[in-house]
Structure 1
Amino acid sequence: MGTGALGVSMLPFWLNWLRHNYPDVTVRVALTRGATRLVSPQAVAAMTRTPVFFDEWTEEPAPVAPHVELAEWADAIVVQAATVHFLSRLALGLTDTPLLLALQLTAAPVGIAPSLPPGAERSPTIATHLSTLDADPRFELARPTAAHSAATGGPDGETADLPTVLSLLSTRLGVAPQAELDFGTGFQRTRVHPDGDSAFRWLRTAGPQRPEPLTPVPAQVAALLPTDTPAEFATPEFIHSGHSYRASGRSSAADWLFREHPNVPALIGSALHAVGRSLRVLHDSPGAVSATAPGPARLLRWLDGDSELRTRAAAVWGTQRLDTVRYWCSWAARPGTLIHGGVSLASIVPPLTAGRVGLFSGPELATGPAELDLGWLLGELLELREQERLGVLAGVPHDCRRLAEAFLRGYGPDFDAAATCRAAVLRFLTHLHDHAVYVGVNDQLPRYLTLAADLIDEEGKRALG
């Protein structure tokens, strides 16, 4: 159920999230008249693929009274978000609309996320109504979390998000609040599970084909990362022979990129802008480590080896291109500034609601050219664009060029564009190798090798094009 609180404008976003995380759940949405001023019923209906119920009595004849049908149909009800007006009427037992009457009649547990305006905590009347609902065993109240108010900009609190409300209902329903995610390749495995209110634990472990085990990130290395940045340089604990991160989101930017929702470009663009700004701070920070970025080093070992994949690449690229890439790899290992060493869409976690963007950091922290960090992320976006152009990928729903622009706007203008483009090619080639070795060779490999030759020849200029 949605009421006339500002948070209801995010309802299509949360319905999309619900569809991806709970695909077997049937969802119906009811909106009050106030809610329809803030969210499009058409967008809600498109997300749920069911008609929207409007909270008003009608003259239309119905075989079953609407409040009875709603009360009996639902296994659980969420009011996201609830205005003070709606909360007060519910606490007083008023039943002058179908939704209020259904909430009084239903046997289903009801989770409520109050949307409280600044100063609400000073009202004895509002406090009484909240206490009444808190004491009612039918209702689970998810209190607002600490955050900046949209109205005042001050720390007045933010309406609890949908995962928080569902976690409160999970015990009543006898189900886990969220399924654990488990995915990966022969190089790395990732598991994601809830960790308290609105937070998630990401455990990354070595895949079965990874040539070396993961190791702890030394405290003195983690201490080199700046803390007062738009994106958080999240460093891991070493648990179960893996790296365990805590983040405010359950999905990485790589995952969000393939979700068709109008809010996703703004979500990812904002996250990449924050990462760009944060990398600028990192690159301007004092300190250094002895390590060099692992990606180019892994690529160089492959180029100097004698694997079948290397033989096939050499047949397409020729000696001159191989020497060019070797030179670029040696450039990536030159002394420079403190760099992240492996920025990727999979290492960037936008928050679901409140909180900073998470940038998983530490294991690949290195000293090298700042442009390597920039090119590493731009190379990933370039690869997605090229996959779509070649028809290898069914289609990325969002404009990767604009996302690259958002990232660079965050970083600022002072960087070597040519070096950044060459770094983008290194990232493309490294992923070509990693995918073939740790996922498997497919029939698209010849096209990738030809594309790689073109990128080497043009020195990756299309990464900024």
Structure 2
Amino acid sequence: MAEETLLVYATANLRTEIREIGGGYRWLHSSGWQNPNNLPEPPAYVHRAVSTINVPRARFVLPTYTDGVLAFDLPGPVSLGWRLLSGAVEPSSAVDALRAVGSALHALHRSVPEELGPVPRLAGLRRWLADGDGPQDAPFLHTVVAEALGDRRMADLLTWCEDLVAQGPRARLVHGGMSLNHVVIDPESEQAHIPIGLGVGAGSPVIDLARIVAEVPAYRQVGALVGRSELDLRALTEAFLDGYGTSVDDVELAKAVAVTTVLGLHSIAAHIGWKELIHGRVDELAQLVDGALR
């Protein structure tokens, strides 16, 4: 079956190629130019855990794995996140899909991990918070964040990050890369497809919830840069948390949102390079940290 490459984009850490194949689309993830290692294959345990989840209107999609390349067969060439930013869909039309995604994550979080370490990106963030080292502009970002927050807030962030990746009886299987950019909606069935396997790990379930909540201000900021200044995702996060169902501790969620906000900034600085939009998010960090302590 012929495959046509539609889109290729890459950071120093990850390369993504999207191909059209038959009536669907294949998303190929491989290591970026700065990453000397092949992407790891998701462990068999993740396959077993995902195979037991049956949620209406949402499904996890596992990759096939060949020589360090993760291939996901998905029903569209662009994510929900990109469709929101482009104006192809409005937040109100994605509410039901995000509620279903929340339900699917709740089912995933029932799984107790087997032979899984912490979420790789959060383990890397923990090291960076402690020593400030890293590729590209990661050291400069550490200096900027440390100056903006001060020693006490930086120590709080490190403690909270350590709590999120702690291994023990409370750890659960977590997606590790949850994002609106990791949700693809089937245009016919309106079912949400969630690629899983890249960055999966064990830790606190609140990791995955915080990733979505933290995207509200991020999308508002990026939306303003692309002519979508009115973009407001709060209804989506409310539906997402409603679909998750289980009561979420507001303080723990606020702490995790602060950590995952820093994680997003670190990913940009370390794998793309310094961008001016980072400044605006750094200015909000002190408020996020202080808000989590109230």
Give SS of 1:415's match: coil
Kindly state the Cα deviation for residue 177 of structure 1 after the two structures are TM-superposed: 9.7
Q: Does 1:312 align with 2:137?
A: no
CA–CA distance in structure 1, aligned partners of residues 7 and 222 of structure 2:
26
Q: Is the 8 A contact 1:288 1:366 kept in 2?
A: no
1:402 maps onto 2:235 in alignment: yes
Give the equivalent residue in structure 2 for 1:206.
Answer: 31
CA distance in 2, matches of 1:314, 1:343: 26
Among all aligned residue pairs of Structure 1 and Structure 2, give the percentage whose two residues are the same amino acid: 28
Aligned with 2:103 (options 260, 277, 280): 277
**Which residue number in structure 2 is paired with residue 415 of structure 1?**
248
Partners of 1:412 and 1:400 in 2: how far apart?
19
- In the alignment, the residues of structure 1 paired with residue 172 and residue 245 of structure 2 have an alpha-carbon distance, to the nearest angstrom, of 17
Is 1:454 the counterpart of 2:280? The answer is: no
2:53–2:104 CA contact under 8 A, matched in 1: no
Please give the TM-score of this superposition, normalised by the length of structure 1: 0.56
Partner residue of 1:244? 71
Q: Secondary structure at the match of 2:53?
A: coil
Counterpart for residue 232 of structure 1: 59
**1:256 paired to 2:91:** no
Q: 1:227 to 1:446 in 2, by over 3 A?
A: closer
Rg (Cα) greater in structure: 1
Q: 1:90-123 deviations in whole A, cap 9, x for unaligned?
A: xxxxxxxxxxxxxxxxxxxxxxxxxxxxxxxxxx
Helix, strand or coil for the counterpart of 2:54? coil
* CA displacement at 1:386 relative to structure 2: 5.1
The amino acid of 1:410's aligned partner reads: G
Paired residues in the alignment total: 283
Within 2, Cα distance between the matches of 1:412 and 1:292? 24
Structure 1 counterpart of 2:147, one-letter code: A
Q: Write the distance in 2 (CA, Å) between the matches of 1:246 and 1:287.
A: 25
Question: Is there any run of 5+ residues in structure 1 with no aligned partner, and where?
Answer: 1-175
Matched residues in 2 for 1:259 and 1:188: separation? 23
Cα distance change on mapping 1:324 and 1:211 into 2, 3 Å: farther
> What letter is aligned with 1:424?
V
Residues 258 and 289, structure 2, Cα contact 8 Å, conserved in 1: yes
Q: Are the aligned partners of 1:204 and 1:243 in contact in 2 as well (CA < 8 Å)?
A: yes
Which of 358, 368, 385 is residue 220 of structure 2 equivalent to? 385
Structure 1 residue 397: deviation in Å?
Answer: 5.2
- SS in structure 2 opposite 1:244? strand
- In 2, Cα distance between equivalents of 1:343 and 1:425: 15
* 1:46-445 equivalent positions in 2, closer than 5 A: 180-197=6-23, 199-210=24-35, 212-225=37-50, 226-230=52-56, 231-261=58-88, 263-306=89-132, 307-334=139-166, 335=168, 336-354=171-189, 356-385=191-220, 394-396=227-229, 398-445=231-278
- Equivalent position amino acid for 1:224 in 2: A
The whole-number CA distance in structure 2 between the counterparts of 1:210 and 1:365 is 18
| Local SS of the residue matching 1:257 | helix
Contact 2:53-2:108 at 8 Å conserved across structures:
no
Output the CA distance in 1 between the equivalents of 2:109 and 2:228: 34
RMSD: 2.6
Q: CA deviation at 1:235?
A: 1.0
Q: Which moved more, 1:439-448 or 1:228-237?
A: 439-448
Q: TM-score, normalised by structure 2?
A: 0.86
Instruction: Tell me the CA shift for residue 294 of structure 1.
Output: 2.2
The aligned amino acid for 1:220 is Y
Give the drift of 1:258. 1.3
Unmatched tracts of structure 2, length 5 or more = 133-138
Tell me if the contact between 2:109 and 2:173 (Cα under 8 Å) persists in the aligned partners. Answer: yes
Distance 1:409 1:250 in 2: 28
The secondary structure found in structure 1 opposite 2:292 is coil
Q: Note closer, same or farther for the CA distance 1:393–1:196 as it changes in structure 2 (3 Å cut).
A: closer
2:281 maps to amino acid = Y
User: Aligned pair in 2 of structure 1 residues 248, 442: CA closer, same or farther (>3 Å)?
Assistant: closer
**SS of the residue aligned with 1:223?**
helix
Deviates more, 1:436-445 or 1:181-190: 436-445
Cα deviation, 1:377-433, whole Å, max 9, x if unaligned, reads 111223223556xx6664355421111112112111422122112111111101111
Within 1, Cα distance between the matches of 2:86 and 2:230? 7
Larger relative CO (CA 8 A, sep 6+): 1 or 2?
A: 2
After superposing the two structures, state which structure 1 stretch, 227-236 or 211-220, moved more. 211-220
- Cα shift at 1:274: 1.2
Aligned mates of 2:275, 2:112 — CA distance in 1: 44
Q: 1:368 to 1:212 in 2, by over 3 A?
A: same
Q: CA offset at residue 360 of structure 1?
A: 0.8
Answer yes or no: is the 8 Å Cα contact 2:116–2:201 preserved in 1. yes
- Mapped partners of 1:366, 1:434: distance in 2: 18
Change in CA separation of 1:310 and 1:435 when aligned onto 2, cut-off 3 Å? same
